[in-house]
Structure 1
Amino acid sequence: MKLFVIGAGAIGGTLGARAFRDGHDVTLVDADAAHVAAIRRDGLRIEGPVEEFVVRVPAILPEELPDTVEHAVVAVKSLHTAAVADLLRDRLAPDGYVLTVQNGLTADVLIEALGRERVLASFVNIGADLMAPGVVLQGNVATFRIGELAGGPVTPRVARLAEVLPYAEATENVLGYLWGKEVYGAMMWAGAVSDLPIAETLERPEYRGVMTAISEEVLAQAPVTVEGFDGFEPDDLPGSFDRLAAFNRRSAKTHSGIYRDLMVRKRKTEVDEVHKDIQGPVFDRVVEMIHDIEEGRRTCEVANLDELARFVAVRTG
């Protein structure tokens, strides 16, 4: 399998580097010219407590993609999904397919451009960050599931991808995992309005009301049976918060990618893409706060989380 990983940042870089080191034919594709140049010059460096290594993996810009692509992994931020769909629209081979490893429910954008039968989905909970051009931090090892969007028995192509990509396992209910990630992600969005580490936002008793309310909002909208992972169990939210806090304390990644987008990289987050799939009074308020931070009317601080806690307390009486 010749695999193009489109988006060589945190997750794309981690998966691509390890698959390449395992002997697979991988090419990284990224729109960041400095990142591509650094990988070409020095290789891609994976740092962190899991393992540190450098791979001399091929890296190209999007315009350097060949005319025909058989297999691709889409690992860009969700707000760039449409651009990748356009990039692949006339390139994807008739019997080819793509796997999205993105946050959120992004498959519909790819399906519209490529066809439902050529899109696979996955759930990835590995903690990773792009630290500098050519450098990715892998903070932990966590759940990674691949499956057909329609569910059902594992197909040969899903099984093959699970063999090629590190940490991956096949599943018959990938949407269930994705909706579980939506619940966990909602907690991360709420926590990102402050500057507290992930584990602290999950374990502090004064924020349990926020985490419970926003989780219940998402669970109420899930159209499938939600799957548990890495300590999260949809039918045990109080225990999930404790277990997820412990899980995050074991990771070298202390703050979410959302927080890094807001306070380190100073760039627009994926919140509007997520908001298309999830609505509700608490999440709507979080989205307003994220917009305020993006546009300079707020900064990430505990006062925002305290305000959110008061909002939830008033709503719940």
Structure 2
Amino acid sequence: MKVTIIGAGAIGGTIGARMHRAGHDVLLCDADAAHVAAINDDGLHIEGPVEEFTAHVPAVAPDDLPDTIEHAIVAVKSLHTASAAALLEGRLASDGFVLTVQNGLTADTLQAAVGADRVVSSFVNFGADYLGPGRILQGNVATFRIGEIGGGPITPRVGLLADSLPYALPTENVLGYLWGKEAYGAMLWAGAVSDLTIADSLSLPPYRALMMAVAQEAIDQAPVPVESFDGFVPDDLDGSLDRLAAFNRKSAKARSGIYRDLMVRKRKTEVDEVHKDIQGPVFDRIVAMIHDIEEGRRTCEVANLEELAEFAASR
């Protein structure tokens, strides 16, 4: 494939490096000038227990994108989807298409920019972190599914993408996987208000009822059957907690990207975008708490998780 990846951070960088090494024609695009410079000077370094290698893949800033993009993969945080869509509008080749590998339900914004029939969606669950300019940690290998947004039979472009991207398999129900991630992600949002690891926040007894309650809020809003993955089973949330904890203990990524945004990178999270998809009293309370942390009124600590657990128990 000839593909431009918009967002060369944790997920986009991992995908781009692996596609480039497999022989695909890859161009990375990122708004972080230091990251772009480091990639062009020394390559993109993939680190961690899965494999360590360096991909000498070209990278550009948004202002330096070519006038025509054959195919694109969007890997920016969901709150930056509109900016990514604006970069693609008018640039996508007449027979080109866009794959979103983002969290949340972002396809409509991309469809508005490039056309409803030119966007493919995916579910990505392998763990990765941006460590610094030119450096990405890949913490594990996990489920990666690609499918048409409307569901149905596997199309040639979905097959092409599944063959080209690392770990990817095609699916006829990509939205089911995305809603499964919304439910799992809701638990990660809850855990991120503390300083516990993902595994501990999921498995410790005082917080299990909270985790199941917020996951169920998401599942109840899903318009399609919710799919299982990596230990998550929508009709067995209690058992899912133990399986997901075991899955996360095997990863070099101990804490979520949400926690890193709040406490390491000190930047705004995707919570408002996710809140557009999930509503409910427990998740609403989590969103308010995330806002408090973003704005300096709280810090990430176990006391927040205890407060959430008490609130969920009172429902």
Both structures adopt the same fold (TM-score exceeding 0.5): yes
Q: Distance in 2 between matches of 1:111 and 1:277?
A: 17
Matched, 1:126 2:133: no
How do 1:186-205 and structure 2 match up within 5 A?
186-205=186-205
Post-superposition Cα deviations, 1:181-216, rounded to whole Å, max 9, x if no partner, equal 000000000000000000001110100111011011
The separation in 1 between residues aligned to 2:277 and 2:114, in whole angstroms, is: 21
**Does 2:233 match 1:233?**
yes
3-state SS, counterpart of residue 26 of structure 1: strand
Q: What displacement does 1:289 show?
A: 0.2
Consecutive unaligned residues of structure 1, counting only runs of 5 or more, are: none
Residue identity matched to 1:283: F
Whole-Å Cα distance in 2 between the matches of residues 38 and 44 of structure 1? 8
Q: CA RMSD in A?
A: 0.5
Give the CA deviation at 1:94: 2.0
In the TM superposition, 1:243-254 aligns within 5 A as 243-254=243-254
In 1, Cα distance between equivalents of 2:177 and 2:216: 16
Which residue of structure 2 aligns with residue 277 of structure 1? 277
Deviation larger for 282-291 or 86-95: 86-95
Partner of 2:294: 294
Residue 172 of structure 1 aligns to which amino acid in structure 2?
Answer: E
**C-alpha distance in 2, partners of 1:189/1:105?**
16
| Cα distance in structure 2, aligned partners of 1:96 and 1:2 | 10
Aligned residue number for residue 309 of structure 1 = 309
**Cα-to-partner distance string for 1:191-243 (whole Å, 9 max, x where unaligned):** 00000000001110100111011011011100000000000000111110000
Task: State the one-letter code of the partner of 1:6.
Answer: I
Find the aligned partners of 1:263 and 1:171 in 2 and give their Cα distance.
35
- Mapped pair 1:91 → 2:86: no
Q: Kindly provide the CA deviation profile for residues 7-40 of structure 1, in whole angstroms up to 9, marking residues without a partner as x.
A: 0000000010001001111111101000000001
Structure 1 residue 114, shift from structure 2 partner: 1.2
- Residue 146 in structure 1 maps to residue 161 in structure 2: no
Aligned-pair distance for 1:73? 0.3
Matched residues in 2 for 1:131 and 1:45: separation?
10
Give CA deviations for 1:269-307 in whole Å, capped at 9, x if unaligned. Answer: 000000011100000000000000000000000000000
Q: Deviations over 1:89-132 (max 9, x none)?
A: 11011221100000000001101111110000000001000000
Q: Which residue of 2 aligns with 1:31?
A: 31
Q: Which residue of 2 aligns with 1:157?
A: 157
Asked whether 1:109 is paired with 2:105, we answer: no
Looking at structure 1, the residues matched to 85 and 27 of structure 2 have their Cα atoms a distance apart, in angstroms, of 18
Could you say which residue in structure 2 is the equivalent of 1:220? Answer: 220
**2:164 partner amino acid:** V
1:6 aligns with 2:32: no
- Residues 62-100 of structure 1 show CA distances to partners (whole Å, capped at 9, x for unaligned) of 111111111000000000000011111110112211000
Q: Distance in 1 between matches of 2:211 and 2:33?
A: 39
1:267, CA displacement in angstroms?
0.1
The residue type paired with residue 30 of structure 2 is: D
Matches within 5 A, 1:72-83: 72-83=72-83
- Aligned partners of 2:71, 2:195: CA distance in 1, in Å? 39
Rounded Cα–Cα distance in structure 1 between residues aligned with 2:98 and 2:163: 16
Matching residue of 1:20: 20
Instruction: Tell me how far apart the structure 2 counterparts of residues 245 and 65 of structure 1 sit (CA, whole Å).
Output: 41
The 3-state SS of whatever aligns with 2:123 is strand
Deviation per residue, 1:118-170 (Å, 9 max, x gap): 00000000100000000000000000000000110100000001111111001
> Amino acid of the residue matched to residue 182 of structure 1?
E
Q: Distance in 2 between matches of 1:25 and 1:161?
A: 13
The one-letter code of the counterpart of 1:140 is N
CA distance in 2, matches of 1:15, 1:67: 23
- SS of residue in 1 equivalent to 2:122: strand
d(CA) in 2 for partners of 1:55, 1:108: 32
For 1:294 and 1:177, the matched residues in 2 are separated by 29
Distance in 2 separating the partners of 1:21 and 1:89? 28
| AA of the residue aligned to 2:41 | R
Tell me the TM-score normalised to structure 1 length.
Answer: 0.99
What SS is found at the alignment partner of 1:130? strand
Unpaired runs of at least 5, structure 2: none
| 2:94 partner SS | strand
- Rounded to whole Å, the distance in 1 between the matches of 2:295 and 2:204 is 28
Alignment correspondent of 2:255: 255
Give the distance between the partners of 2:4 and 2:89, measured in 1 at CA: 15
**2:206 partner amino acid:** E
* Count, aligned residues: 315
In the alignment, does 2:211 pair up with 1:206? no
